[in-house]
Amino acid sequence: MKHVLVLGGTGFVGRHVCEQLHRLGWRVTVPTRRAANAALVQHLPRVFVREADVHDEAQLTALLRGHDAVINLIAILHGSEAAFERTHVELPQKLVRACAAAGVRRVVHVSALGVSADGPSRYQRSKARGEAVLQDGARHGLELTVLRPSVIFGAGDRFLNLFAKLQAKLPVMPLAGAGARFQPVWVNDVARAVVACLDDPRFSRSSIGQTIECTGPQVFTLAELVRIAGRLGSRQRTVLPLPMALGRLQAGVMELMPGEPLMSRDNLDAMRTDNVASGQLPGLEALGIRPAALEPVATTYLGDQGGRSRLLALRRGAGRR
């Protein structure tokens, strides 16, 4: 039985990766600071949750021993320069050294579309530096595959769900970066890509050393995505595009609020670069995956919100009488 360590296995993408690996017979180790965070995967018989701090290099090295491969899904969308550096650059540095110490060579790293060393946002620049660290490791023996997804959607996402919920509460939808372009990809397709790079004999060896762009079949502006979320969810509101200066002011206020901000100034900076496939790198089709369109999938979970879900509840109640 093959054994893989999944860093970030308790997150949105990680849960889907763990489920697919489990079904294929892999033994999966998921480290987390608190076991309670792994509630959505620890019921799977071949998934083993370990309480550990993966930013501690000694603990990371110990976790890696006995594994055939490691998948790195750990990332943040918001934070200081130091937080981005710690998560996106220093962790890959520790991972390279830990792999060498533990004798693990196969690494699948999930990065992001649009990363660039001179990109407009701290997120993009730090992700690019992290990729460079791993690529340097590949020149010294790591068997690396990098996946770069666009924005990821699916049941439980914090993207379309967020826009649907906001439109249920606001009379209009003020929106900075309304013209930014995205090529959204279904979370199941990203998980399938990760697994194909490891498990499918048709692709696992040929994917080593490649950078693969994970995108859906359609390109949308942010305003179009917001309208789709409203139409499929609770209700569709009028989108009010904001000038970038006003959008940055709004994002700055959100950053001061408690908890994770809905939007940060760094997010807006990132949207200055279109989040679409370059066409210069292989895509999901190179892994035998035909990516799903957004609306048919989004209908299955956004339709559970608002008036539609209340109507369904009434119908179910009537059926039980």
Q: Which two tokens stand for residue 265?
A: 């100034």
Confidence at 314, pLDDT banded by 50, 70, 90 = very low
pLDDT of 305:
54
Q: H helices of 26-106, where?
A: 57-64, 81-85, 91-102
CA 59-88-192 angle, to 5 degrees, is 85
Q: Which CATH number fits domain 3-152+186-215+280-287: 3.40.50.720, 3.40.50.2300, 2.60.120.10, 3.30.420.40?
A: 3.40.50.720
C-alpha distances in angstroms, 1 versus 204, 206, 262? 16, 22, 42
pLDDT of 258:
84
pLDDT of 303:
76
pLDDT in tens, 201-210: 999 999 999 9
| Mean pLDDT, residues 219-231 taken together | 97
Give the predicted TM-score (pTM) of the model: 0.92
Confidence at 256, pLDDT banded by 50, 70, 90 = confident
Confidence at 310, pLDDT banded by 50, 70, 90 = very low
Whether residue 312 has pLDDT greater than 50: no
Task: Round to whole Å and give the CA distance between 246 and 212.
Answer: 36
Task: Round to whole Å and give the CA distance between 215 and 94.
Answer: 29
Q: Which two tokens stand for residue 128?
A: 């690019």
Q: Which two tokens stand for residue 287?
A: 């892994």
pLDDT in tens, 268-299: 999 999 999 999 999 999 999 999 999 999 99
Q: Cβ–Cβ contacts within 10 Å for residue 314, how many?
A: 10
Per domain, the residue ranges of the chain are: 3-152+186-215+280-287
Confidence at 238, pLDDT banded by 50, 70, 90 = very high
Mean pLDDT, the chain, whole residue set:
92
267 vs 312: which has the higher pLDDT: 267
79 vs 194: which has the higher pLDDT: 194
pLDDT in tens, 109-163: 999 999 999 999 999 999 999 999 999 999 999 999 999 999 999 999 999 999 9
pLDDT in tens, 20-50: 999 999 999 999 999 999 999 999 999 999 9
Whether residue 104 has pLDDT greater than 90: yes
pLDDT in tens, 166-191: 999 999 999 999 999 999 999 999 99
